[in-house]
C-alpha cells in the first residue's frame, strides 16, 4: 500500500544499490544471452527468455528484499529501459520494460506485499510477463514476420520468460534467506 | 568482445560533429528513425540507405556489416530452414526479408551510433534537463559506470573458482550450469552490496545527497547545429517515406 512513509524520496544509499545491481543485472543478462547464442541453444524456443528471466530475476529479487518500498521495481525497470534504449535503440521495448516495472510495483502496492514472501515473486512474474508480451507482440503486430511459426515461437518465449521469472524469484528468495541466516545481509 | 565495445564507447572524440551534438537531439533522431522503421514497411530500403550513410560517416561501417550479416544469417535460418521444415508460408517473402534483415540492422546500427557518439556525462545532464527524476538518472549513471568494474569482478571470481576447481572452462559451465551460476552470482551479489555501501559513503562525503539544483561543467542546449541535424533527419525520413509510397503505389496501379 502507498503510505506516507512509502512516498518519501529515496535515499542515496537505495539509489546506489539499485544502480550497482542494475549494472549487475545488465552484465548477467548480456552474459547469459551471449552464452545461449554461442552454444547454439538459441534454437530452443523459449530457452533464451527463461534463462535471461531467471538470472535477472534473482538480482531484482534482492533489490526488492533490500528496499521494500513502492517505486523500487519501477526505478530498476526505468534504468533497464534506458539501457535498452541506449544499447538497442528500441523505444517500444524500453516502454515495455517500464510498463512491466510499474505493473509489478502496482501489484505489490495493491496487495501490500512489499514485505511478503510471495508478493515480490508474483510482482517479478507480472513484470517479466508484461515486458515479454509488450516487447514481443509489438514487433509481431507491426509485421516483422507474418508467419504462423513465429507466433508460436513468440508464445513459447513469453511462457519461458514468465517461468524464468518465477524460478528466479524462488532462487533469489532462497539465496537471500541463506545470506540473512549467515549474517551477510539484514 | 564486450570489453572492446565498452572501450570503444569510452573513447571520446571532442571535435566530432555528432559527439558535440546535444544528446536530446540524438535521442529524438533515434526515436524518429526507429519509429519510422517500425511503421513504414515500404520505406525500409531507403531508411537502410540513410542509416548506412550515417554509419559510414560516423566510422561505424564494421558494425553495419556485422549486423547485416547477422540479419541475413537469421533470415536464412528462419525462411529457408525452419519454415520449410514446418510447412509454413508467408504472403510476402520480401517483407519477411526486409523485416528481419533491414529493420534489425537499422535498429542495431542507430542504437550503437547513439551509444558510441554520446558522452555519458552529457547524457545524464540532458536527462536532468528533460526533468527526468534524479531517482532514475542517478541509478542509471551508476549502472553504466559500474559495468566495467563488475566485469573486472567477474574475472576475479572466475579466477577464484578456477583455483578451487569449480570452473575449469566453458565446458564445465555447460555441463553444470546451476552450480556455475550459483558460484558466480553469490560472491558477485555480496561484492555488489559492499560496493554500493562504499559508493554511498564516498558520495555522501562529496555532498551528492544535498537537495537543490546542480550546475554542469558543459552547457547542454539546442543550437543551430542541433536544429540543422534534426531538420536533416526529419527531411530525409519524410522524403524517403513519400518517395517509396508513391513509387510502390505507381507500381501496383
Q: If you average pLDDT over every residue of chain B, what do you get? A: 79
Q: What is the least distance, in Å, from the CA of A176 to any CA of chain B?
A: 10
**Long-range pairs, B10-14, Cβ under 8 A, ≥24:** B12/B119
pLDDT of residue B182: 83
Please state, for a pLDDT cut of 90, what percent of chain B lies above it: 2
CB pairs under 8 A, 24+ apart, for A33-40?
Answer: A34/B1, A34/B2, A35/B173, A39/B174
Q: In angstroms, rounded to a whole number, what is the distance separating the alpha carbons of residues A137 and A144?
A: 10
Is 80 exceeded by the pLDDT of residue B19? yes
B202 touches chain A (CB under 8 A): no
Kindly identify which residue of chain A lies nearest to residue B106, measuring between CA atoms: A89
Q: Inter-chain contact B90–A147, Cβ cutoff 8 Å?
A: yes
Residue given cell 559451465 in the structure block: B173
> How crowded is residue A174: how many other Cβ atoms within 10 Å of its Cβ?
12
pLDDT in tens, B129-177: 888 888 888 888 888 888 888 888 888 888 888 888 877 777 777 777 7
**Residue of chain B with shortest Cα separation from A175:** B186
d(CA B179, CA A50): 17
Task: Give the ipTM of the model, two decimals please.
Answer: 0.83
pLDDT of B12 reads 66
CA distance B43 to B25: 23
Region A139-157 average pLDDT: 66
The pLDDT value given to residue A143:
54
Interchain CB distance below 8 Å, A55 and B181:
yes
Q: Summarize the confidence of residues B57-70 as an average pLDDT.
A: 85
Chain A within 8 Å of B54 (Cβ-Cβ)?
A: no
- In this prediction, residues B10-17 reach a mean pLDDT of 71
Q: Do A145 and B96 touch (CB under 8 A)?
A: yes
The beta strand positions in chain A, using DSSP E, are none
Q: Which is higher by pLDDT, B147 or A123?
A: A123
User: In the structure, what pLDDT confidence band is assigned to residue A144 with cuts at 50, 70 and 90?
Assistant: low
Q: Is the dihedral of CA B165, B169, B170, B174 positive or negative?
A: negative
pLDDT at position B231 is: 92
Query: How many other CB atoms sit within 10 Å of the CB of residue B89?
Result: 11
A64, pLDDT greater than 50 = yes
With contact defined as beta carbons under 8 Å apart, do B107 and B37 qualify? yes
B4 touches chain A (CB under 8 A): no
Q: A146: pLDDT confidence band, cut at 50, 70 and 90? A: low
Q: pLDDT: is A42 or A66 the higher one? A: A66
| pLDDT confidence of residue B91 | 63
Answer yes or no: do A20 and B203 touch at CB < 8 A.
Answer: no
Return the number of other C-beta atoms located less than 10 Å from residue B250's C-beta: 8
Per residue in A2-38, pLDDT (tens digit) is: 555 555 678 888 888 998 998 888 888 888 877 776 6
Highest average pLDDT, of A25-39, A108-122, A160-174, comes from A160-174
pLDDT computed for residue A151 by the predictor: 72
Q: Is there a contact between A16 and B200 if contact means CB atoms under 8 Å apart?
A: yes
- Taking residues A45-71, report their average pLDDT: 87
pLDDT over 60 at B40, yes or no: yes
With contacts defined as CB-CB under 8 Å, which chain A residues touch B196? 13, 16-17, 19-21
Q: What does the pLDDT read at residue A89?
A: 62
* Structure-block grid coordinates of residue A137: 507482440
Is the separation of the CB atoms in A3 and A26 below 8 Å? no
Closest Cβ–Cβ partner in B86, B112, B115 for A149: B86
Nearest to B86 by CA among A156, A160, A150: A150
What residues of chain B, 133 to 172, have a C-beta less than 8 Å from chain A? 135-136, 138-147, 149-151, 154
Spatial separation of the C-alpha atoms in residues B192 and B220, rounded to whole Å: 32
Buried b (16+ CB within 10 A) or exposed e, A96-132: bbbbbbbbbbbbbbeeebbeeeebbbbbbbbbbbbbb
B249 pLDDT higher than 60: no
Contacts of A30 in chain B (CB under 8 A): 2
A:38-57 residues touching chain B, CB 8 A cutoff: 39, 55
Instruction: Please indicate whether, in this complex, the C-beta atoms of A89 and B107 are within 8 angstroms of each other.
Output: yes
What pLDDT was estimated at residue B252? 46
- A16:B203 CB<8 A: yes
Task: Look at B93 and B127; give whichever has higher pLDDT.
Answer: B127
3-state secondary structure of A95: helix
B139/A39 CB distance under 8 A: no
* Separation CA B248–CA B253 (nearest Å): 9
* pLDDT at B180 > cutoff 50: yes
3-state SS record for chain B: CHHHHHHHHHCCCCCCHHHHCCHHHHHHHHHHHHHHHHHCCCCHHHHHHHHHHHHHHCCCHHHHHHHHHHHHHHHHHHHHHHHHHHCCCCCCHHHHHHHHHHHHHHHHHHHHHHHHCCCHHHHHHHHHHCCCCHHHHHHHHHHHHHHHHHHHHHHHHHHHHHHCCCCCCHHHHHHCHHHHHHHHHHHHHHHHHHHHHHHHHHHHHCCCCCCCCCCCCCCCCCCHHHHHHHHHHHHHHHHHHHHHHHHHHHHHC
- The residue of chain B with its CA nearest to that of A13 is B200
pLDDT, position B253: 42
Q: Quick one: average pLDDT of A90-101?
A: 83
Under DSSP, the state recorded for A112 is: T
Return the residue matching grid coordinates 501490500: A112
Which of A7, A16, A137, A149 should one mutate to test binding to chain B, selecting the residue with the greatest count of B CBs within 10 A? A16
Using the beta-carbon criterion (under 8 Å), do A23 and B144 form an inter-chain contact? yes
What is the grid cell recorded at B159? 579466477
Please name the residue of chain B whose CA is at the shortest distance from the CA of residue A80: B140
Examine the pLDDT at A68 and tell me if it is beyond 80.
Answer: yes
Residue bearing the bigger pLDDT, A139 or A71: A71
Picking from B27, B118, B146, the nearest residue to A23 by CB comes out as: B146
What's the rounded Cα separation, in Å, for the pair A55 and A52? 5
Which chain B residues contact residue A69 at CB under 8 A? none
C-alpha distance from B247 to closest chain A C-alpha (Å): 21
Residue B228 confidence (pLDDT): 92
pLDDT exceeds cutoff 50 at B73: yes
Cβ of B228 under 8 Å from any chain A Cβ? no
Which of chain A's residues have a Cβ under 8 Å away from the Cβ of B173? 35
Nearest CA in chain B to A56: B185
Could you tell me the pLDDT band of residue A60, with boundaries at 50, 70 and 90? very high
Quickly state the pLDDT bin for B7 (edges 50, 70, 90): low
Amino acid at each position: 500500500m502507498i503510505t506516507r512513509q512509502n512516498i518519501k524520496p529515496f535515499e542515496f544509499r537505495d539509489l546506489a544499490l539499485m544502480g550497482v545491481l542494475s549494472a549487475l543485472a545488465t552484465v548477467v543478462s548480456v552474459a547469459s544471452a551471449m552464452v545461449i547464442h554461442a552454444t547454439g541453444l538459441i534454437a530452443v524456443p523459449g530457452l533464451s527468455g527463461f534463462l535471461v528471466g531467471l538470472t535477472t530475476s534473482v538480482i531484482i529479487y534482492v533489490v526488492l528484499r533490500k528496499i521494500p518500498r513502492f517505486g523500487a521495481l519501477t526505478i530498476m525497470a526505468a534504468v533497464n529501459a534506458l539501457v535498452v534504449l541506449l544499447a538497442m535503440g528500441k523505444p517500444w521495448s524500453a516502454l515495455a520494460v517500464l510498463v512491466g516495472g510499474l505493473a509489478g510495483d502496482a501489484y505489490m502496492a495493491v496487495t501490500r506485499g512489499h514485505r511478503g514472501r510471495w508478493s515480490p515473486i508474483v510482482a517479478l512474474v507480472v513484470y517479466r510477463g508484461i515486458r515479454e508480451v509488450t516487447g514481443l507482440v509489438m514487433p509481431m503486430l507491426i509485421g516483422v514476420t507474418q508467419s504462423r511459426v513465429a507466433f508460436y515461437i513468440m508464445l513459447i518465449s513469453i511462457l519461458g520468460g514468465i517461468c524464468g521469472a518465477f524460478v528466479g524469484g524462488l532462487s533469489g528468495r532462497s539465496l537471500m534467506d541463506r545470506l540473512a541466516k549467515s549474517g551477510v545481509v539484514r | 568482445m564486450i570489453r572492446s565495445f565498452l572501450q570503444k564507447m569510452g573513447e571520446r572524440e571532442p571535435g566530432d560533429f555528432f559527439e558535440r551534438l546535444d544528446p536530446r537531439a540524438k535521442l529524438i533522431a533515434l526515436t524518429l528513425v526507429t519509429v519510422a522503421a517500425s511503421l513504414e514497411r515500404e520505406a525500409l530500403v531507403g531508411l537502410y540507405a540513410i542509416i548506412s550513410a550515417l554509419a559510414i560517416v560516423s566510422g561505424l561501417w564494421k558494425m553495419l556489416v556485422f549486423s547485416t550479416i547477422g540479419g541475413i544469417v537469421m533470415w536464412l535460418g528462419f525462411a529457408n530452414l525452419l519454415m520449410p521444415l514446418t510447412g509454413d508460408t508467408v504472403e510476402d517473402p520480401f517483407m519477411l526479408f526486409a523485416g528481419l534483415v533491414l529493420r534489425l540492422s537499422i535498429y542495431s546500427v542507430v542504437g550503437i551510433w547513439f551509444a558510441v557518439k554520446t558522452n555519458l556525462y552529457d547524457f545524464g545532464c540532458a536527462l536532468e534537463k528533460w526533468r527526468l527524476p534524479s531517482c532514475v538518472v542517478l541509478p542509471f549513471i551508476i549502472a553504466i559506470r559500474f559495468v566495467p568494474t563488475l566485469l573486472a569482478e567477474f574475472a576475479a571470481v572466475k579466477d577464484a573458482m578456477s583455483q578451487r576447481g569449480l570452473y575449469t572452462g566453458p565446458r564445465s559451465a555447460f555441463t553444470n550450469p546451476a552450480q556455475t551460476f550459483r558460484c558466480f552470482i553469490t560472491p558477485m551479489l555480496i561484492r555488489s552490496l559492499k560496493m554500493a555501501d562504499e559508493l554511498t559513503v564516498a558520495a555522501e562525503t562529496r555532498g551528492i545527497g544535498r537537495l537543490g539544483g546542480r550546475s554542469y561543467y558543459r552547457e547542454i542546449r539546442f543550437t543551430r547545429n542541433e536544429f540543422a541535424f534534426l531538420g536533416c533527419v526529419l527531411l530525409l525520413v519524410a522524403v524517403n517515406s513519400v518517395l517509396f509510397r508513391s513509387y510502390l503505389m505507381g507500381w501496383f496501379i
